[in-house]
Amino acid sequence: YQKRKNEIQERRFFPERIRRRDVLVQAFIVEYLDRRRPKLRSVRNDERYGVYWSNALGNRSLRQVIPGDIERYVATRRADGMAPASINRELALLKSVFNVAMADGLVETNPVRAVRFFRENNARVRYLTPEEEPRLRATLPPDEWPKIAVALHTGFRQGNQFRLRWSDVHFDTGLVRAHQPKSGKDYFVPMNDDLRTVLRALPSRLRSEWVFPSETGETPLDAKNYVHRVFEPALRRAGIEDFRWHDFRHTFASRLVMAGVDARTVQTLMGHKTLAMTERYAHLSPAHKLAAVQRLNRPAVDDP
């Protein structure tokens, strides 16, 4: 009784908290994923982030987590060599978890809001050069090259390519659909002759619903496993540095721009929401800039 009187006097008494259950972070992350699963685009990634946070925060309750706990986690991830963008995705997951917990009345504040996210360098443009492409191809078995070819000729994100179904490939109209892309809106990329030839030759057409199936044919090929097992060793053998699978998407856009394709068309083919996302490639198209400054040339004047 005296303790309660002191809390009231010191304004530390909050009646609404009485008999409110303390939920463990680990348990609520599981509940969060179960509730949000139908709405999440990248469930597997979020599940992985959830495991990281569950291990890091142990058996603490939601109310026990403070910004310092999260900052120490971030420092550890950076020391392990994790990229800022990857850490931001993990922070975003935990922030969303606490937002839902607040809406449920299980916690009063969101500790992630006090943690500064990293500034990401989204302007990076690394593309496969004409000299690197044959070197990479020479290090891969012939049956592995179609995966690279599809990436080069569609510009699809890794997830869209490896989850590509044959129902998304329309030979009659000559279009390939990116289903549920990052932007949230499906878009189509026309098949050029090279892409059509590659797709028609794939043995999975008659064996699986997936363009790139797993060994059983019942599920899509695991993209991350493939990259670590096949792609990255091939890069090392070819002597190609600082290159990621996502850079095939940059290669697709860069080659279009360098071929003189206008930015609006590139935006449509990339499935970008805004033109600003496409303009990172503008510096690769010097032709239209040269044409612009050529207009400053003085007209030739005939000698009298």
Instruction: Find the range with the poorest average confidence among 2-6, 87-91, 101-105.
Output: 2-6
Q: Which residues contact 278 (CB under 8 A, 6 or more apart)?
A: 253, 263, 266, 267, 270, 272
Average pLDDT over residues 144-161: 96
Write out pLDDT tens, residues 223-250.
Answer: 989 999 999 999 999 999 999 999 999 9
d(CA 204, CA 212): 7
- 198, 146 contact by CB (below 8 A): yes
pLDDT surpassing 70 at residue 304: no
Q: What is the mean pLDDT of the chain?
A: 88
Q: Which residues contact 244 (CB under 8 A, 6 or more apart)?
A: 126
What pLDDT band is residue 139 in, cutting at 50, 70 and 90? very high
Q: Which residues contact 217 (CB under 8 A, 6 or more apart)?
A: 204, 207, 208, 210
Write out pLDDT tens, residues 42-51.
Answer: 677 889 999 9
Instruction: Find the range with the poorest average confidence among 13-17, 80-84, 117-121, 197-201.
Output: 13-17
Q: What per-residue confidence (pLDDT) applies to 206?
A: 86
Chain centroid, CA 154 distance in Å:
16
Average pLDDT over residues 10-39: 77
Q: What per-residue confidence (pLDDT) applies to 123?
A: 65
pLDDT surpassing 70 at residue 16: no
Instruction: Report which of residues 51 and 38 the model is more confident about.
Output: 51
Q: Which residues contact 123 (CB under 8 A, 6 or more apart)?
A: 280
Task: Give exposure, 147-173, as e/b (b: 16+ Cβ within 10 Å).
Answer: bbbbbbbbbbbbbbbbbbebebbeeee
